């Protein structure tokens, strides 16, 4: 198995692409910490992956843009699996609105999740990977085409 004994965190993984990434990694031997903001979705996804792959997949629900929670994810993965090798920042949001009236709150929330969450998760994970002296992989995944294009419009 290609990812045997590797440990991974995948955010935004309760469904869709994130879920499929978790399933693929677990099926190939990785131990997974699956994150989604929706607790019931995260738990169901982790249970499904364990049943379908026979692999190890734990759910940790929470806001992947929150700095305290980011550290909790990294600490939990290292505590449960003894290491961290792969981080895929898949969580992302789009808040639609009219360009001329789009609120600063909506804009900054999108930036917090899509940019801040990704950056600070990569930073926290890189510190652990550096200490391990065995490297690792940090990936940002978001497919804008999966969402309605043009979140800021004006008619």
State mean pLDDT over 84-96.
Answer: 95
The enclosing H or E element of 59 equals strand 57-61
Which CATH number is 116's domain given? 3.40.50.720
Asked if the structure places residue 53 within a domain, the reply is yes
Tens-place pLDDT, residues 16-53: 999 999 999 999 999 999 999 999 999 999 999 999 99
What is the band of 136 on the pLDDT scale with cuts at 50, 70, 90? confident
- Rounded Cα gap, residues 36 and 113, in angstroms: 12
Chain-wide mean pLDDT for the chain? 90
Asked if the structure places residue 136 within a domain, the reply is yes
Report in angstroms the alpha-carbon separations of 142 from 6, 16, 56, 88, 129: 23, 11, 25, 10, 23
Q: How many CB atoms lie within 10 A of CB 57?
A: 25
Asked if the structure places residue 118 within a domain, the reply is yes
Quick check: helix, strand or coil at residue 85? coil
- Rounded Cα gap, residues 155 and 150, in angstroms: 12
DSSP classification of residue 92:
-
Give the residue ranges of DSSP H helices in 36-148: 39-53, 67-81, 104-111, 118-132
- Rounded Cα gap, residues 113 and 118, in angstroms: 7
Q: How many domains does the chain have?
A: 1
List the domain range (segments joined by +) for residue 123: 7-143
């Amino acid at each position: 198995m290609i990812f045997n004994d590797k440990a991974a965190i995948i955010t935004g993984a309760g469904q869709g692409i994130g879920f499929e990434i978790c399933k693929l990694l677990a099926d190939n031997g990785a131990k997974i910490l699956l994150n989604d903001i929706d607790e019931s979705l995260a738990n169901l996804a982790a249970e499904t992956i364990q049943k379908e792959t026979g692999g190890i997949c734990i759910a940790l629900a929470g806001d992947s843009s929150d700095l305290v929670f980011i550290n909790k994810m990294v600490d939990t993965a290292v505590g449960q699996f003894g290491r961290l090798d792969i981080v895929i920042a898949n969580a992302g949001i789009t808040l639609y609105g009219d360009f001329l009236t789009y609120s600063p709150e909506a804009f900054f929330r999108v930036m917090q999740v899509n940019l801040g969450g990704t950056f600070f998760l990569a930073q926290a994970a890189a510190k652990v990977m550096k200490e391990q002296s065995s490297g690792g992989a940090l990936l940002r995944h978001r497919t804008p085409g999966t969402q309605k294009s043009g979140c800021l419009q004006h008619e």
